[in-house]
């Protein structure tokens, strides 16, 4: 069994390409993103910062967690993490608008509703994925980076 550290750079490139494919599946073609590693002190598997004005996002992911999901055969779990974060692009603009008009009593409700709405949209998106689109389905160490480098440059995804 390979270790994450042995293939870390290659795997991070592979995850960036998978995010791009999932982004296309969600009809977010005009968006440009940066994929980075998640700070190890974070208590999350991934997070996203979205800039609606410039149609850009910065997604931070726990690559080690995704590697372990794939190694354990939990491809749908790895995919769900990435799809969930991309679905924030779809839902969060309404959430931010609501937060501007919210009273202090409704802020907690809006935050809870936001995550529920993101998860519902992600659930719909996940049902539309074929098995071949699951993260890890086609991962072969050391080949993914070579195959994806040109596509990543074309779509301005920085590693």
**Exposed/middle/buried for residue 58 (C-beta within 10 Å: 0-12, 13-18, 19+):** middle
CB atoms within 10 A of CB 51: 11
At 90-115, the pLDDT tens digits run: 998 877 777 777 777 777 788 888 88
pLDDT at 30 over 90: yes
* d(C-alpha 82, C-alpha 147), whole Å: 20
Does the reported pTM lie above 0.85? no
Q: How confident is the model at residue 149 (pLDDT cuts 50, 70, 90)?
A: very low
Q: List the chain domain ranges.
A: 5-154
Sign of CA dihedral 73, 71, 34, 157: negative
What H or E segment, with its residue span, contains residue 43? none
pLDDT at 39 over 70: yes
C-beta of residue 72 within 8 angstroms of C-beta of residue 15: no
pLDDT at 156 over 70: no
């Amino acid at each position: 069994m390979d270790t994450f550290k042995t293939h870390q750079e290659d795997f991070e490139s592979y995850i960036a390409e998978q995010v791009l494919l999932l982004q296309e599946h969600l009809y977010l073609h005009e968006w440009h993103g940066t994929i980075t590693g998640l700070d190890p002190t974070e208590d999350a598997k991934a997070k996203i910062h979205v800039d609606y004005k410039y149609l850009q996002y910065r997604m931070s992911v726990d690559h080690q967690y995704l590697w372990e999901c794939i190694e354990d055969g939990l491809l749908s779990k790895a995919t769900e993490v990435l799809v969930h974060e991309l679905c924030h692009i779809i839902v969060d603009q309404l959430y931010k608008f609501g937060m501007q008009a919210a009273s202090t009593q409704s802020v907690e409700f809006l935050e809870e509703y936001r995550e529920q709405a993101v998860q519902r949209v992600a659930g719909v998106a996940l049902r539309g994925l074929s098995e071949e689109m699951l993260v890890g389905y086609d991962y072969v160490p050391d080949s993914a980076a070579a195959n994806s480098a040109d596509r990543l440059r074309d779509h301005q995804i920085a590693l």
